[in-house]
Amino acid sequence: MKFKPNQIKMKAIISSIILTLLFVSTFQAQQQNSKNKTNKGTTINAQPKLIVGIVVDQMRYDYLTRFNDKYGYGGFKRMINEGFNCQNNHFNYVPTYTGPGHTSVYTGTTPKYHGIIGNNWYDKEIKQSVYCAGDDTVQSVGTTDAAGQMSPRRMKTTTFTDENRLFTQMRGKTIGIALKDRGAILPAGHTANAAYWFHGADEGQWITSTYYMTELPQWVTKFNASNQVQSYLKEWNTLYDIKTYTESGPDENTFEGGFNGKETATFPYDLMAIKTKNGNFDILKATPFGNSITTDFALAAIDGEALGKDEFTDVLAISYSSPDYVGHNFGVNSKEVQDTYLRLDKDLERLFKGLDAKVGKGNYTVFLTADHAAVEVPAYLTSVNIPSGYFDGRVFKEKLYAFLKEKYKSEELVETISNNQIFLNRAKISEMGIELENVQKAIVNEIIAYTHIDKAYSGISMSQTSFTTGIEELIQNGYNQKRSGDVIYVLDPAVISYSQTGSTHGSSFNYDTHVPLLFFGHGIKQGSTYQKTHITDIAPTISAILGISFPNAATGQPLEFVLD
């Protein structure tokens, strides 16, 4: 059949229209598909409105399991049942102290890089001890006491809180809160809007420093003016019948310290009656009420700072300091520690309910861990035939000095001994024409024979040898070449330099390194693992949730298996 020219032209036009319609339809379908993918991706990758980091000061992992039957379902168990439980989480460095612990959680690295090698350490340049958060270039805000002269300036690296501030162009807020200054300051990072800590003594006030502001916000002033803190100066008795506290030792024993003004370390404690002999408001720090005060203030901060109220993720860094004070005083097997954790469980429930109401369930992400754990009281361990003991630092120093005087004919070769590290007088050693390495080795060979010294290493070996396993790796991860000492020694397991009552921490052994790690809320799967995780993995994991840069010296890895 033959078509006329007009018919051919009309057919071409129709074909063109059909092709155009097909193209437009395909393009729209692709756009819609792309939009759907984008929307789906936005839903999956949407950032939480608020990150809440919780560090419990001196919490052993087995406090989760030991007291499990006594916990309710709104605190620790809510995190476990709805979130992810890393059951084999450890510190991967020593010393396991509060300052390094909080710093490592938030920087994702170890003292080798972030520089916070202890709560206090000997500064080799100025030849005196310094405090991890101390800063005499700033002034106190909220008190005339020097307790406010603090800042994070000695921390050498960024935290994930810093990275979130940078990522959001400083629109995402960071607030740090703890009874201890270092527990508030170091997690909050260098760029925090504020860090607040509790000044007890005769004041009982939340304070800060001019590093952050020149005067307290109205909401803090209002909280300090309330009767909230004073209301906790009351009787501390067990939350439940003490006869049901079968997961801890007898209430009256010889392994606990107790409070001044009370003959026995037994319940109940009339805090109002004995406060003047125990630092007035400071006594609250060594009771579970210190955790309650911290929770009260944290909930006030969420309102006062409008946290989680806009599109920019905020961070609230909370440290519960009281368990450390209680543990140091009464020991990890005490009724007092058990009651402190049962009450902390209630405070966590109260915090989570507050977050549900103020920020919205599913709009926030929480992690909970500890800055270190603690050893059983060695005197108690000895009573049940477990090897343990006490290290006499005075005898150790006398023997070491006598050895150096005999070998080198000098009493000036050691500047100080701090944090199980010996700092040598390098100028004197150079003046005498002695090789530093030889002096370090001589001391190592000498002290390894001393009672309760398990291992000893030279600073040069820490700087020049790469250790990948064992205690040696942990020591190296905690060794900062510029700030650490010339000789490092390790005490026998369950041997401490401390009083014969109460517990302490600081070692590389499991009783100090094994701590909880719970994730819960937005972006977190439900589950658990016995796979080994490290404290340095927390900051990269939170950074991954937020889609931000890792802290600048982070050595940990994101825990992909906890992410939803």
- Domains by residue range for the chain, with CATH: 50-383+515-562 (3.40.720.10), 392-451+453-491 (3.30.1360.150)
| Average pLDDT over every residue of 474-478 | 98
CA 291, 294, 300, 301: dihedral to nearest 10 degrees? -140
Reply yes or no on whether the pLDDT at 9 is more than 60: no
Q: Does residue 472 carry a pLDDT above 90? A: yes
* List 98, 109, 208, 533, catalytic entry: 98
Is 320:56 a contact under the CB 8 Å cutoff? yes
> What confidence tens digit (pLDDT) does each residue in 203-236 have?
999 999 999 999 999 999 999 999 999 999 999 9
User: Who's near 232: CB < 8 A, 6+ residues apart?
Assistant: 271, 284, 287, 289, 292, 293
Hey, what amino acid is at 439? V
268: exposed, middle or buried (Cβ count in 10 Å: 0-12, 13-18, 19+): exposed
Residue 78 token pair? 């809510």
The rounded distance, in Å, linking the Cα atoms of 188 and 316 is: 8
pLDDT tens digits along 277-323: 999 999 999 999 999 999 999 999 999 999 999 999 999 999 999 99
Q: Do 504 and 136 contact (CB within 8 A), yes or no?
A: no
Q: ∠ CA 366-345-160 to the nearest 5 degrees?
A: 25
Q: Is 98 noted as a catalytic residue in this protein?
A: yes
The backbone torsions φ and ψ at residue 532, rounded to the nearest 5 degrees and listed phi first, read -70, 130
pLDDT in tens, 11-64: 544 455 444 444 444 445 445 444 443 444 333 458 999 999 999 999 999 999
Note whether 457 and 444 are within 8 A (CB): yes
Q: What is the mean pLDDT of the chain?
A: 93
Q: Whose CA is closest to 177, among 9, 343, 296, 342?
A: 296
Report the run of H or E that residue 366 belongs to, with start and end.
strand 364-370
Instruction: Write the DSSP string, 301-329.
Output: HHHHTTTT-SSSPEEEEEEE-HHHHHHHH
Burial class from Cβ neighbours inside 10 Å (0-12, 13-18, 19+) for residue 547 reads exposed
Residue 16 pLDDT: 53
The pLDDT tens digits of the residues spanning 405-447 come to 999 999 999 999 999 999 999 999 999 999 999 999 999 999 9
What is the pLDDT, as a whole number, of residue 3? 46
219-252 burial code (b ≥16 CB/10 A, e <16): ebeebbeeeebeebbeebebbeebeebebbbebe
Q: What pLDDT, in 10s, does the model give residues 266-289?
A: 999 999 999 999 999 999 999 999
Residue 524 DSSP label:
B
3-state DSSP assignment of residue 286 = helix
Half-sphere exposure of 43 (CA within 13 A, CB side): 6
The neighbour count for residue 142, using CB atoms within 10 Å, is 22
Is this structure's pTM higher than 0.75?
yes
